[in-house]
Structure 1
């Protein structure tokens, strides 16, 4: 089993940081099995090709501009819904992700299962720090990432439980 939780985003563009902040919280607060990799992908694109290739489950956390919903809403997309979303690019890294997903499909290395946990941003303005809407969405989005991991049979244990 090979699983990757990939947080993408630009921490210099307000709510664009949400994907990165989700994977940071996951690593800080939970213990995961060795076969689960957690990666801050930042704004990388094709550089992530080898990391994303041949995964049993790829879980992407990111900011997602959508006409369905309001800022702070958490959206869950699965499998073929995800590459379709990335054709509507909202930031430079999404161009890279669309390219990587296309390349993986072309080479036969597309993940067997793909989940996107997206948060609708309130702002993408240049500024460090997220809006209150994105901050409020962080925990529900993190719980959706954990739910996706558990769907793949991953035991996700709180670090607090480990120290009791």
Structure 2
């Protein structure tokens, strides 16, 4: 049986989900990285790019049924700012046990619910970067902003591992807001 969400946002086999709080500078890195990908690359129809922001359990409607999920996020670890982290499959849940923010609690709950109900996503990768600044502000720190192109390249490499070949745009598509 289809839900209302199937009509609004059909399930895509591959989902790129940018998460984070964009009003706390680098905490919004995952959303900004997803926007960068959307602006600089075109994707096959089977790929959906989503701004998950700080949504929690509400994301369940948008990721249920996807087969490959790439989550882009700011990741607080013990390493220096700018360090790139990568977690895959079982390590993803271990990462979300160390909750940095409320949106990560929501992602953990969504992934756990999908597993318990027999709808787990077969391939999940979290790609993140250690933030420099978590103060109030709508822009990334200069260091995080400068890291976006190389981070996006890493995200594209993950998508290639998923069997998706994004095409770099010759002229970036500007975001409309």
TM-score, length basis structure 2: 0.86
**Aligned match of 1:101:** 111
**Aligned match of 1:111:** 121
Give yes or no for contact 1:55–1:110 (8 Å, CA) kept in 2.
no
Does residue 149 (structure 1) correspond to residue 159 (structure 2)? The answer is yes
Q: Structure 2: any 5+ residue segments left out of the alignment? A: 1-11, 172-177
Q: Which runs of 4+ in 1 moved over 3 A?
A: none
What SS is found at the alignment partner of 2:87? Answer: strand
Give, in whole Å, the separation in 1 of the partners of 2:62 and 2:122: 14
Give, in whole Å, the separation in 2 of the partners of 1:64 and 1:52: 21
Compute the displacement of 1:132 (Å).
Answer: 2.4
The one of 31, 50, 53 equivalent to 2:64 is: 53
Give, in whole Å, the separation in 2 of the partners of 1:84 and 1:136: 29
Give yes or no for contact 1:74–1:120 (8 Å, CA) kept in 2.
yes
Q: Deviations over 1:19-70 (max 9, x none)?
A: 0111101111111011100000000011110211222210000000001x21
Give, in whole Å, the separation in 1 of the partners of 2:150 and 2:126: 14
The one of 41, 44, 47 equivalent to 2:52 is: 41
The one of 20, 33, 58 equivalent to 1:22 is: 33
RMSD: 1.6
Give, in whole Å, the separation in 1 of the partners of 2:143 and 2:88: 24
